[in-house]
Amino acid sequence: MSDDLSWATSAAIAQAVGAGAVSALNVIDDAFARIEARNPALNAFTTVTADRARRRARAIDAMRDKSKLTLAGVPFAVKNLFDIAGLPTVAGSKINRARPPAQKDSPLIERLEAAGAVLVGALNMGEYAYDFTGENIHDGPSRNPHDIARMTGGSSGGSGAAVGGGLVPLALGSDTNGSIRVPSSLCGTFGLKPTYGRLTRARSFPFVTSLDHLGPFARSTRDLALSYDAMQGYDTEDAACADRAAEPATPKLGQGLDGLRIAVAGGYFRKGASPEALAALERVAKAAGARSEIEIPEAARARAAAYVITATEGAALHLDRLRKQARDFDPAVRDRLIAGAMVPAALVVKAQNFRRWYRERVLELFNSCDAVLAPATPCTAPKIGQQTFMLDGVELPVRPNMGLYTQPISFIGLPVVAVPVPLAPLPIAVQIICAPWREDIALRIAHALEQMGAVQSPKPDL
Amino acid sequence: MPDPKLDDFIAAAARALDLPLEPQWQAAVKANLEVTLRHANLVAEFALPDEAEQAPVYKA
């Protein structure tokens, strides 16, 4: 492992700590020094958990069999909608600061710590996750490590900034409509949105339970796979968590592209894409040997249905807070939620009915291919505060439209790995989309592309 | 064209739902509702059989 811990992978840290070449406490202290130095510019962290992290690091250092821990001594942080024992789960809001402290950690934190990882803090996010920008009216915007005048993307903006900025090698975020994949694209990190129902969402603050997913950010595919494997497993506490045995992806990571049929999504997924998004897609498609183009049917309608379900379920979740504390919301979030509360129920039922129809049609596509490539975002990171951008010659608002290409995919819960293409001056990601429960294939393709040098998490000049 | 009747709908819905709606919020709420209804109608106009039903607990 290099002396530069700012860019060390989780795998390298775990190997070094496991072998006793470096202490977990040394790694954690180094992470806190970096957070202290860089966070004033990036605004990724909203809380650091120094005391518990150092206690945990000392406990790992005292273990005799730490070489068995797949994430020994790996510092990680979580979007501040995950429960952390002893802290209120703020979910990017002012209102939730009055909540009582969480009694227990989220099970995903527990599972990562059981594998040897060390929680070092909580991360900035868009209010109540209703966001694609990474801006937050209460905590200030998280800032893009490749240009701090630009957005991180949201809503897991702090997760993108923390990993892309070298503060930690691993972070967790949530993805309802693209909130892992959009910041991964803008900040140049790898991101995994697993199959809906794969990872438990227990003890995390919800947004849209029909669509909510949790998943990791990392700077390598191996780190994504290691953390994903550590977090798998059924949990009765989450009604949507599938009763399914863990299917480790790490052992399959090096199987290469042989035998895989990879296609590129056309039609809707090219319309509105910037030259950078198309260049990244072309680079990844060429490296992956993706020759055929397929049409995902009714993708625009799928995105529309996801939009409706998000607005209305989000409004239902926050109805009481809207009645009593409307002025304490970010106005941009409040006005969307109030509008969502007013959408007639018949239209919401139709959106849910359509979801099932669309799922059947899209799953048919996987009879003839194993993975589909599509842009993650229509463009590279816009400027912080930028309200509109031009897509396909049309001026559109930034906030809802950054998820143009991610929403039709998470709408039916397909697993996706977002892979960063290090274009200059700003990175942009491509989605590798697979059939349900085939995270292993998406990670395997991402790993092969990474080995070829086609995708890479670019190191910012900080 | 924005639908002026939507203002009446918003006022009535806010009363029915007991939602506060300060005058300066009206324009943004209306703009958001117009966009959401446009999306909802795009979905609703898609013909599905009467038997099409949603998944009670969605499974991918």
Instruction: Look at the alpha carbons of A13, A249, A450, A271 in this order and tell me if their dihedral is positive or negative.
Output: negative
Interchain pair B41, A355: CB under 8 A? no
CA distance A90 to chain B (A): 23
Tokens in use for A155? 């809503």
Residue A185 designated active-site: no
Looking at the predicted structure, is the pLDDT value of residue B1 above 50?
no
- B29, B41, B55 member nearest A339 (Cβ): B29
Interchain pair B28, A343: CB under 8 A? no
* Beta-carbon-side half-sphere exposure of residue A78 (alpha carbons within 13 Å): 30
Task: Say if B22 falls within a structural domain.
Answer: yes
- A210, A239, A357 member nearest B48 (Cβ): A357
B47 reaches A (C-beta below 8 A): no
Task: Say if B33 falls within a structural domain.
Answer: yes
For residues B56 and A193, give the distance between their C-alpha atoms in angstroms, rounded to a whole number. Answer: 22
Q: A5-300+351-452 maps to which CATH number?
A: 3.90.1300.10
0.95 exceeded by pTM: yes
- Going by the DSSP 8-state scheme, the letter that residue A367 receives in this structure is T
A442 reaches B (C-beta below 8 A): no
CA distance B31 to chain A (A): 9
Q: Name the band, by pLDDT with cuts 50, 70 and 90, for residue B55.
A: confident
Interchain pair B43, A340: CB under 8 A? no
Which residue of the set A66, A79, A106, A159 is catalytic? A79
Tokens in use for B58? 């969605």
Instruction: Look at the alpha carbons of A319, A320, A323, A325 in this order and tell me if their dihedral is positive or negative.
Output: negative
Q: Which residue has the tokens 């005391």?
A: A51
Interchain pair B54, A412: CB under 8 A? no
Q: At what angle do helices A345-365 and A299-325 cross, to 10 degrees?
A: 140
Number of structural domains in chain B: 1
What's the pLDDT score for residue A3? 65
For residues A249 and A438, give the distance between their C-alpha atoms in angstroms, rounded to a whole number. Answer: 9
Q: Name the band, by pLDDT with cuts 50, 70 and 90, for residue B60.
A: confident
What's the pLDDT score for residue A295? 97
- CA dihedral (A349, A363, A172, A422) in degrees, to 10, reads -120
Q: Name the band, by pLDDT with cuts 50, 70 and 90, for residue B47.
A: very high
Cα angle, residue A59 at apex, residues A57 and A61 outer, rounded to 5° = 70
Tokens in use for A166? 């070298």
- Domain segments of chain A as ranges: 5-300+351-452
Interchain pair A413, B58: CB under 8 A? yes
B54 reaches A (C-beta below 8 A): yes
The candidate with the shortest Cα–Cα distance to A407, out of A364, A376, A436, is: A376
Task: Say if B52 falls within a structural domain.
Answer: no
A311 reaches B (C-beta below 8 A): yes
DSSP, residue by residue, A70-84 = TTTT-EEEEETTB--
Query: Who's near A253: CB < 8 A, 6+ residues apart?
Result: A221, A222, A225, A443, A444, A447
Per-residue pLDDT of chain A (462 residues; tens, 9 = 90+): 666 788 999 999 999 999 999 999 999 999 999 999 999 999 999 999 999 999 999 999 999 999 999 999 999 999 999 999 999 999 999 999 999 999 999 999 999 999 999 999 999 999 999 999 999 999 999 999 999 999 999 999 999 999 999 999 999 999 999 999 999 999 999 999 999 999 999 999 999 999 999 999 999 999 999 999 999 999 999 999 999 999 999 999 999 999 999 999 999 999 999 999 999 999 999 999 998 999 999 999 999 999 999 999 999 999 999 999 999 999 999 999 999 999 999 999 999 999 999 999 999 999 999 999 999 999 999 999 999 998 888 898 998 899 999 999 999 999 999 999 999 999 999 999 999 999 999 999 999 999 999 999 999 998
Domain span holding position B12: 5-44
Residue A79 designated active-site: yes
Three-state SS for A181?
Answer: helix
What's the pLDDT score for residue B54? 82
Give buried/exposed letters for A344-379 (b at 16+ CB in 10 A, else e).
Answer: eeebbebbbbbbebbbeebeebbeebbbbbbbbbbb
Mutation to test the B interface, candidates A342, A416, A434, most B Cβ within 10 Å: A342
- A195, A340, A353 member nearest B53 (Cβ): A353
Reported ipTM: the value is: 0.93
Task: Say if B36 falls within a structural domain.
Answer: yes
Chain B residues whose CB is inside 8 A of the A411 CB are none
As to burial, measured by CB atoms within 10 angstroms (0-12 exposed, 13-18 middle, 19+ buried), residue A210 is buried
* Beta-carbon-side half-sphere exposure of residue A275 (alpha carbons within 13 Å): 1
Q: Are A420 and A456 in contact (CB under 8 A)?
A: yes
A348 reaches B (C-beta below 8 A): yes
CA distance A53 to chain B (A): 36
Residues written for chain B: 60
Q: What is the β-pairing status of strands A262-265 and A292-294?
A: parallel
Residue A292 designated active-site: no
Q: Which residue has the tokens 């040394």?
A: A26
Interchain pair A304, B43: CB under 8 A? yes
Task: Say if B60 falls within a structural domain.
Answer: no
For residues A236 and A168, give the distance between their C-alpha atoms in angstroms, rounded to a whole number. Answer: 30
Q: What is the mean pLDDT of residues B35-60?
A: 88
Interchain pair B32, A339: CB under 8 A? yes
